[in-house]
Chain A
Amino acid sequence: MKKKIYPLLAAGISLLLFQQCSERFLDAKPSTSLIVPASLEDIENLLDNEAEINQSGGLGQLSADEYYYINKAEWESIFSPSARNAYTWAADLYEGEEFIRDWNTPYTSIFYANSALETLAGMPSGERDSGYGKYLRGRALFIRAFAHFDLVKNFCTAYNPTTVDTDLGIPIRLNAGMDNIAGRSSLSESYNVIINDLEEALEYLPPQFDIEKRNRPSKPACLALLARIYHYMGKYDLAEEQVNACLALYNKLIDYNTVDVERVNPFTRTNDEVIVSISQVIGLFSTVSSMTNTSISIDTVLLALYEPDDLRLQAFYGTRADGYTYKKPGYNDGNYPFTGLATDEMYLIKAECQARRGAAAESMETLNSLLRHRYKTGTYTEQHTDNAREALNSVLEERRKELVWRGIRWMDLKRLNAEGADISLKRILDGNTYELPANSPRWVLPIPDTEITLSGITQNPR
């Protein structure tokens, strides 16, 4: 009897062995390029995705007052409805356009960041809590905060401390899951999440950065973004605190006398002033600024602010054959404008904060240290004043001249109007006048139609 069991036993064992084999057989990857992110390196590769991360919206830029269309025909011939309508602040901004990068791209960055955070959370604690693991956590938090803030500045009203708890914020996304659709948070909640993310990221990110990989955030980048956010919120004391911490870690400025300002691309994307590199989603050449695109020109009022010895005139602008002025690529050397964080902006924030708290002399000293690097050697006249108001005006004017086409002017206009500056914008096209009054709801971009139909969140009044 016992003997007769063996064959069956053998069959049983071989069946088990076969099961094991077949499982290994089916473990083969269907495609070599597919990855289920599991290692820290996989996470880093996600966060290094250039096309989806380190991007910011461009419709605010197109709504601001740094350029104009030379006539109505040129404006009418613009292909993209949103690019055309942003110029006149039309109530129906998108006019049927489907894919609105100003909204979609930041949320894609957030999805990447959340995916990275969730993958990290599922890893063994040894790896997760290693230096490299924490560093990646810091990077993901920075990316999420940057994207959330980019949405806040475009799709929400300017910060107003009295209404911030009831003003509408943006949908805040803190996980990568597809099934939960977030409603609009309050504006104060939006800011809290952004600042919390950055404060946590500060703990993990290194004080120095790889100068060849300026797409990766660092401690200075976190501090610079916090400074920009507090500055936009009008919390100048907090902004100054952050900006000082940032400049203590990194404060290099480029002396424009060492730059070949005649070149079409005077700067590289790894130039000394860049703290973290971000690109605007709307290209320079395709829509708004190029040597050969004659439809638009740089605002003449802005151009008139520069003195002849100011090297920025040549470094930033060129003159076309027809006499109009175009904008050269800036701190990004290619088609997509630089909207990242750089030391020049930090100096200007610092100077403004100093002026705002009445330290006019200190403010002017900060401003001079920047401007000395912008004028032909020996031609710059140092600015001095004891009048805080005067100092502030100087700083605000220099902000306009320095941070051209960096996506900052629109923020500044919203912030200044919130403080009561009462700045209205006006466009004239062949005798037709379009106006954006200081108190208009059209300072806030409408949320794309696709988002409204699919998630049912509240639309901005327009």
Chain B
Amino acid sequence: MKRNLRLRTCYTQIIRIFRCPKPTYNSLLAVLTIMCLEARAQSPEQSGAVLSGIVVDTIDHPIAGATVGIKGTSIKTQTDSRGHFSIRAPRGEQLLEIVYLGHQTIREKIDNDNRGPFYFKLLPNENMLEEVEVSTGYQTLPKERATGSFVHIDTELLNRRVSTNILDRLDGVTSGLAFNRNNQVSGNETPISIRGRSTLFANPEPLIILDNFPYEGDLASINPNDVESITVLKDAAAASIWGVRAGNGVIVITSKNGRANQKPSIRFNANATFSAKPDLWYAPQLSSAEFIEVERFLFEKGKYNATINNGYGALSPAVEIMLKGREGKLSDSETEAMLQTLAGQDIRDDLNRYFYQNGLNQQYQLELSGGGVFNDYFISGSTDQNRSQTVADAFHRYTLNARNTYRFFGDRLKLTNGVLFTYTSADANQRQYRPDYPYDRVADSSGNALPVSDGSLRLSYLDALDNNLGLLDWYYRPLDERKANFNNTGTNIRVTNSLSYSIIPSLELSANYLYLKAYSDMTRYDDVNAYYTRNQINSLTQIDPETGQLIRPIPLGGIRSVSTGNQTGHTGRIQASHSHSYFSGQTLHAILGFEMSSSTSEDARTTLYGYKEETAANANGTMNFTADYPYFYRTSRARIDAGVGNSASTDRYISYYGNLSYSILDKYIVSGSFRKDESNLFGVKSNQRGVPLWSAGLLYKLSEEPFFQTNWLPRLALRATYGYNGNIDKSTAALLTARAVGIGPQWNSFYSTITNPPNPSLRWERVRNLNLGVDFALKNNRVDGSIEYYIKQGLDLIGDSPIAPQTGVASYRGNSAATETKGVDVMLNSRITHQPEAFQWSAAFLFNYVRDRVTDFKKERGSNWDIISSNYLNPLVGYPYNSLFAYRWAGLDGEGSPQALLDDAVSKDYTAIRNSTDLLNLRFVGSGAPTVFGSLRNTFGWNGLSLSVNITYKTGYYFRRPSLNNSSLYNSFSYQQADYDRRWQQPGDEKITNVPALIYPANLNRTNIYIYSDVLAVRGDHVRIQDISANYVFNTSKLFAGTVKQLKCYLYANNVGIIWKSNKAGIDPDNRSLPAIRTYAVGLTASF
């Protein structure tokens, strides 16, 4: 009864504060509960003297928001915007503690005789580790108080690298974050992954948060120079606050802000990155002479006859010469001489000369920031101008960022708003020339454009066309087609507003709202002179047999196709944060909130024919899109693509969340969180729309214990967390789902396609997380770091599994799988020598071990071929998701035919080897993704000079080396193949080579037994110097008499080179088709 009374008392208090008679939202109820709890816990403070003072930084600017407390008690306050504080200290001698992020903590003995005012000057902290604040997107908290697994990347580390893309800056410096470059091919790859993989077919990408809200746009729109810091959330306690979208981990990006009481400051940053043309000779291919040899063989076998006889189909220059020889139009010696000339040509010379250039990326940024007593501001403008190594490709970005904070009522009411505007524009040549033959030529010796076959029409067919017919020029001359014909622009406007109010010091209410508008325009324009346009028009042109007039179903003029996208997002959040000490030395921090979000996007596509650029006029009105027109050169018919369409989608979420941490004597910290998400999942019952997720954690600072006071180990803390994250796959539905396609061309009826067979037991994916960690620091922070061990279990994972074709579907999706990922993340920082004003050397070492395996996959598995060729669709229980399986190679026989082990016997029964379902006939080679990776970063400093070298390594994985593919060589005439010269050619070769003899016609199963055998599986292990960064900070006091606050210039080299690799084939496992391009950057930063 007593308790109820209190409840009511405090209830009326709130009513008064709000001046509103009836609270309407349930979140308010939650607030009430907390407040009442608090009210109950309030006890009279011990009376004592009131101390006051001011806190400033090294240049005597007041510091707002520094925590001032009495050590060993719960008494705490914060400095106001003028740096002032006043605090009531208990009687007797006390220790006053002033803590501020990024600065050394001050501890001052006080007694009641000295009441101040005190004057404290905070020195910047040289070791950031202890005072780092990490952000979850819902709250920020000191890392030392966090139970979960966070990685914090500060401004300095982010700016170590020069890049256009923000995520690139995490590469090689973020523990547990893997960049997946050229992993074993899979169907559902993600460019980055946090702590391995815990989904199979649902979205595998980490969630990106920009300034407290999920970022769903194009990452290319984020300007890295606007970013203050990044926090990576790895385990359940860190990430579960993001609920169903946190299953793959979360990356929280925090933008720069102004600071209170700071003079206006201008910062300028400019840099340029240079890169050379790519090495086209890196990937192996058949030489021109070798390819002609293959073509001659196929020509004699009659492979080209069907094409030759149809009169128009594309033939290679070599085959055209051979044909003339066969028809007697060329003598044998002429034929040989012409082929000899071809054999001496290499298209890569032309490509290198005409289609590639040196790349140049430029970046400029200007910032203005500052703050006063009642507000602070940050405004920045930046631009990126990138010229690609491919001629005609370019990228431009312009960003404008403004953030303002206003404070009222002595900092109790805070209003923040931010506007971010981004415009990006990318130009590309979308019909890039890809040579069909290694000896193609696009220019003669004086640089004039030469025609080549486009892959569908034969040059001699075009030569023979009567010029008087009036057709448009039908030759394809790649040299004339090098300009950009595709432009993709994006405009993003992101407005964030946040209003927070401290009702009482321990309770803050806040409301956040995000508005997002994004437009994109993808324009493909081929003018009337472009080969694409000429070919389209000519292909359907008819000649009236009586008048000889040309009939053109596609009118003369350019073809312009525009796809527009329009995305609108709203997210609203109401949150109550509570922070209070109840009993001596015990503090509760809690947040409780509710969030609603809706995102809609609309896409529309239109195509204009006969387009005239000057007038923007088109001729669509004269066209018939439902008639079947015959081709000019063959008997089949085609319809003109109307090129129109539109679609819309809506994503909605409602979430409830809460998070609390309870700290006892700053030694034991318990944390817990819960979240329930509901979404507009399609075709499920309403009770299946949501999933509740939770986490719990514990932090024990052992080094705070009296019995654990050692000099050499000043910091030791143990952490443990457990809980669940989720993942969502909106492509699946519980009910039979179809997609409306439109009107069918044959029967003019609306029709739909089944996209999802019914699945009544569909559930959300969950990821169970266990994280155990140790944080430590040796004396003087000589070495500090953390070691973490984790287990992630993917439960109820959506599985795409092959199913017998008799069901009528090719594969089936359901909650059919489970995975388990175990790993270790080690982070070590060492200050090897650290003397101010002298030589400094520090090192950072990252070690990540991650091993995942599929623990459950219910559906029937397919043949060994399914497992080998598409393991990502046919995961095997007990093996990693990204596994490399191979046939068991048994060498070549006396005729150069491949052999593999089938039931432990050497066999050439390729169909039986392929179809076998006995796992003994397979070899598990290893993981296709690195199981161990990390980096070693050494930084040297002397006076203003600093040099940093990052060495990265990846080991414990395999990839399939490309080799000679009989089927693609003979069926699609693909010349980009390795090992042609090492193939079996005569008896005895089987002793020195594994490359099978070529047979005609190629047998696909025979080809694949070799291509997918273990003899071609090689280790991917390698070590590389990823990058080198150097910078020099000028001593500005001497240089410009103090007008320039900081002046720094920097140099940066990326992709410096591989130091060691285990494969002998000369392949960089991260860059298999084109080599990594080394880039050099030079830049300058100045602040005034």
> CB-defined interface of B880-912 with A at 8 Å, one 1/0 digit per residue?
000000000000000000000000000000110
| Chain B residue at minimal CB-CB distance from A452 | B915
A104–B682 Cα gap in the complex (Å)? 28
Stretch from A70-78, A160-168, A357-365, A366-374 that touches the partner: A70-78
| A448 within 8 Å of B (CB atoms) | yes
Q: Are A173 and B1004 in contact (CB under 8 A)?
A: no
| B754 within 8 Å of A (CB atoms) | yes
- Chain B residues contacting A109 (CB-CB under 8 Å) are 808
- Chain B residues contacting A334 (CB-CB under 8 Å) are 628, 636-637
Stretch from B501-509, B736-744, B1061-1069 that touches the partner: B736-744
| B654 within 8 Å of A (CB atoms) | yes
Q: Are B649 and A31 in contact (CB under 8 A)?
A: yes
A404–B134 Cα gap in the complex (Å)? 76
- Chain B residues contacting A23 (CB-CB under 8 Å) are 686
| B802 within 8 Å of A (CB atoms) | yes
Stretch from A49-57, A307-315, A385-393 that touches the partner: A49-57
Q: Which of A28, A44, A72, A453 is the one whose CB lies under 8 Å from B650?
A: A28
| Chain A residue at minimal CB-CB distance from B25 | A14
Q: Are A45 and B751 in contact (CB under 8 A)?
A: yes
Given contacts A119-B736, A292-B309, contact A450 B862 (CB under 8 A): yes
| A96 within 8 Å of B (CB atoms) | yes
| A291 within 8 Å of B (CB atoms) | yes
- Chain B residues contacting A72 (CB-CB under 8 Å) are 302
| B635 within 8 Å of A (CB atoms) | yes
A22–B652 Cα gap in the complex (Å)? 10
> CB-defined interface of A146-184 with B at 8 Å, one 1/0 digit per residue?
000000000000000000000000010100111001100
| Chain B residue at minimal CB-CB distance from A97 | B1004
| B1005 within 8 Å of A (CB atoms) | yes
| A48 within 8 Å of B (CB atoms) | yes
| B1003 within 8 Å of A (CB atoms) | yes
Q: Which of B749, B804, B808, B971 is the one whose CB lies under 8 Å from A108?
A: B808
Given contacts A48-B749, A50-B747, contact A295 B305 (CB under 8 A): yes
A32–B738 Cα gap in the complex (Å)? 11
Given contacts A28-B650, A73-B302, contact A11 B23 (CB under 8 A): yes
Q: Are A173 and B736 in contact (CB under 8 A)?
A: no
Q: Are B730 and A30 in contact (CB under 8 A)?
A: yes
| B1001 within 8 Å of A (CB atoms) | yes
Q: How far is the CB of B873 from chain A (nearest CB, A)?
A: 12
A110–B635 Cα gap in the complex (Å)? 34
Q: Are B311 and A11 in contact (CB under 8 A)?
A: no
| A290 within 8 Å of B (CB atoms) | yes
Q: Are B744 and A50 in contact (CB under 8 A)?
A: yes
| Chain B residue at minimal CB-CB distance from A84 | B1001
Stretch from A33-41, A298-306, A408-416, A432-440 that touches the partner: A33-41
Q: Are A73 and B301 in contact (CB under 8 A)?
A: yes
CB within 8 Å of A: which of B300-320?
301-306, 309-312
| Chain B residue at minimal CB-CB distance from A91 | B911
Given contacts A35-B739, A42-B738, contact A285 B1004 (CB under 8 A): no
A44–B738 Cα gap in the complex (Å)? 12
Given contacts A10-B24, A292-B311, contact A22 B654 (CB under 8 A): yes
A254–B302 Cα gap in the complex (Å)? 42
A34–B740 Cα gap in the complex (Å)? 7
| B1043 within 8 Å of A (CB atoms) | no
- Chain A residues contacting B28 (CB-CB under 8 Å) are 11
A6–B883 Cα gap in the complex (Å)? 63
Q: Which of B24, B635, B647, B751 is the one whose CB lies under 8 Å from A49?
A: B751
Residue tally, chain B, CB below 8 Å to A: 94
Q: Are B807 and A28 in contact (CB under 8 A)?
A: no
CB within 8 Å of A: which of B308-341?
309-312
A45–B914 Cα gap in the complex (Å)? 40
A176–B760 Cα gap in the complex (Å)? 13
> CB-defined interface of A2-17 with B at 8 Å, one 1/0 digit per residue?
0010110011001100
> CB-defined interface of B643-654 with A at 8 Å, one 1/0 digit per residue?
000011111101
- Chain B residues contacting A10 (CB-CB under 8 Å) are 22-24
Q: How far is the CB of A376 from chain B (nearest CB, A)?
A: 24
CB within 8 Å of B: which of A112-132?
112, 114-115, 118-119
Q: How far is the CB of B286 from chain A (nearest CB, A)?
A: 20
- Chain B residues contacting A177 (CB-CB under 8 Å) are 758
Q: Are B802 and A454 in contact (CB under 8 A)?
A: yes
- Chain B residues contacting A111 (CB-CB under 8 Å) are 754, 757, 807-809
| A103 within 8 Å of B (CB atoms) | yes
Q: How far is the CB of A172 from chain B (nearest CB, A)?
A: 9
Q: Are B309 and A322 in contact (CB under 8 A)?
A: yes
Q: How far is the CB of B300 from chain A (nearest CB, A)?
A: 9
> CB-defined interface of A321-342 with B at 8 Å, one 1/0 digit per residue?
0100000000001110000000
- Chain B residues contacting A31 (CB-CB under 8 Å) are 647-650, 682, 739
Q: Are A18 and B26 in contact (CB under 8 A)?
A: yes
Given contacts A178-B757, A449-B863, A451-B805, contact A46 B680 (CB under 8 A): no
A171–B804 Cα gap in the complex (Å)? 11
| B451 within 8 Å of A (CB atoms) | no
| B446 within 8 Å of A (CB atoms) | no
Q: Are B1004 and A81 in contact (CB under 8 A)?
A: yes
Q: Which of B309, B744, B808 is the one whose CB lies under 8 Å from A107?
A: B808
A436–B126 Cα gap in the complex (Å)? 87
Q: Are B652 and A26 in contact (CB under 8 A)?
A: yes
A454–B744 Cα gap in the complex (Å)? 33
> CB-defined interface of B198-226 with A at 8 Å, one 1/0 digit per residue?
00000000000000000000000000000
| Chain B residue at minimal CB-CB distance from A296 | B306
Q: Which of A18, A96, A213 is the one whose CB lies under 8 Å from B1004?
A: A96
| B679 within 8 Å of A (CB atoms) | yes
Q: Are B752 and A35 in contact (CB under 8 A)?
A: yes
Q: Are B305 and A11 in contact (CB under 8 A)?
A: no
Q: Are B911 and A95 in contact (CB under 8 A)?
A: yes
Given contacts A27-B680, A454-B802, contact A293 B652 (CB under 8 A): no
Q: Are B809 and A35 in contact (CB under 8 A)?
A: no
| B46 within 8 Å of A (CB atoms) | no
Given contacts A27-B680, A32-B648, A48-B751, contact A176 B806 (CB under 8 A): no
| B778 within 8 Å of A (CB atoms) | no
A96–B910 Cα gap in the complex (Å)? 9
> CB-defined interface of B1-26 with A at 8 Å, one 1/0 digit per residue?
00000001001000000000011111
A71–B4 Cα gap in the complex (Å)? 99
Q: Are A26 and B911 in contact (CB under 8 A)?
A: no
| B29 within 8 Å of A (CB atoms) | yes
Q: Are B737 and A34 in contact (CB under 8 A)?
A: yes
A79–B759 Cα gap in the complex (Å)? 38
Q: How far is the CB of A86 from chain B (nearest CB, A)?
A: 15
Given contacts A95-B1005, A450-B802, contact A178 B809 (CB under 8 A): yes
| B750 within 8 Å of A (CB atoms) | yes
Q: Are A112 and B654 in contact (CB under 8 A)?
A: no
Q: Are A26 and B24 in contact (CB under 8 A)?
A: no
A45–B805 Cα gap in the complex (Å)? 23
Given contacts A52-B753, A112-B754, contact A295 B306 (CB under 8 A): yes
A251–B22 Cα gap in the complex (Å)? 79
| A269 within 8 Å of B (CB atoms) | yes
Most chain A beta-carbon contacts within 10 A, residue among B11, B28, B753 = B753
Q: Which of B628, B679, B748, B915 is the one whose CB lies under 8 Å from A449?
A: B915
Q: Other CB < 8 Å A-B pairs besides A50-B744, A107-B806, A294-B305, 16 of them?
A: A18-B26, A28-B650, A30-B682, A31-B739, A34-B682, A34-B737, A34-B738, A45-B751, A46-B754, A48-B744, A51-B753, A76-B301, A81-B1004, A213-B748, A292-B312, A335-B636
25 pairs across A/B with beta carbons < 8 Å? Answer: A7-B11, A7-B23, A10-B24, A15-B26, A25-B654, A30-B650, A30-B681, A31-B682, A31-B739, A32-B647, A35-B752, A36-B682, A37-B736, A42-B738, A49-B753, A50-B751, A73-B305, A76-B1001, A81-B1004, A96-B1003, A178-B812, A265-B637, A285-B634, A292-B310, A334-B636
Sorted from nearest, which 7 A-B pairs have the closest CB atoms?
A111-B808, A73-B302, A292-B310, A294-B309, A455-B804, A96-B1005, A454-B804
